[in-house]
Amino acid sequence: MRAKHRPPLLTCDLMVTYSRPVNDDRVFKALADSTRRYLLDLLFARSGQTLTELESQLEMTRFGVMKHLRVLEAAGIVVTRWSGREKLHFLNPVPIRLIHNRWIHKYAEHQVSALADLKAELEAKTCRQTRKRA
């Protein structure tokens, strides 16, 4: 029986394409672990690293790093491309940005505007008190 052909996650022109929508739960799960966040930091600093390069910067086994990379790949945050015999890992920040737009931005905007309003009100109150004393 032949294996099903899956469309590539990374095209030849290095544009990321999705064969499925971004799953928020997978992205949150991937970002929940400090080791995976460190792997993302390493890929942010230099995208296109091999497993060996990533493993050399962590104090864990090769299989442990592979397991973390699989979680990041399942979330779509890391995409891979074969270059000869090397599997290169690239950071894909799009799912993280979508999480930011969906969950963080709308809550942060309200808080920032509330803090700005509070600051203006306190400054006006301080200014009025200063005038009364003078």
Q: Where are the domains of the chain?
A: 24-96
- HEC profile for 71-88? HHHHHCCEEEEEECCEEE
pTM for the predicted model, two decimal places: 0.68
Query: Do residues 86 and 49 make contact, with C-beta atoms less than 8 angstroms apart?
Result: no
Whole-number pLDDT of residue 11: 46
Residue segments in the chain with a per-residue pLDDT below the cut of 50: 1, 8, 10-15, 17-19
Going from the C-alpha of 100 to that of each of 14, 32, 59, 75, 76, the distances in angstroms are 23, 15, 30, 15, 15
Fold exhibited by the domain 24-96: Arc Repressor Mutant, subunit A (1.10.10)
| Structure tokens, 130 | 């200063």
Whole-number pLDDT of residue 125: 84
Whole-number pLDDT of residue 42: 97
Within 10 angstroms of residue 91's Cβ, the number of other Cβ atoms is 21
Whole-number pLDDT of residue 20: 52
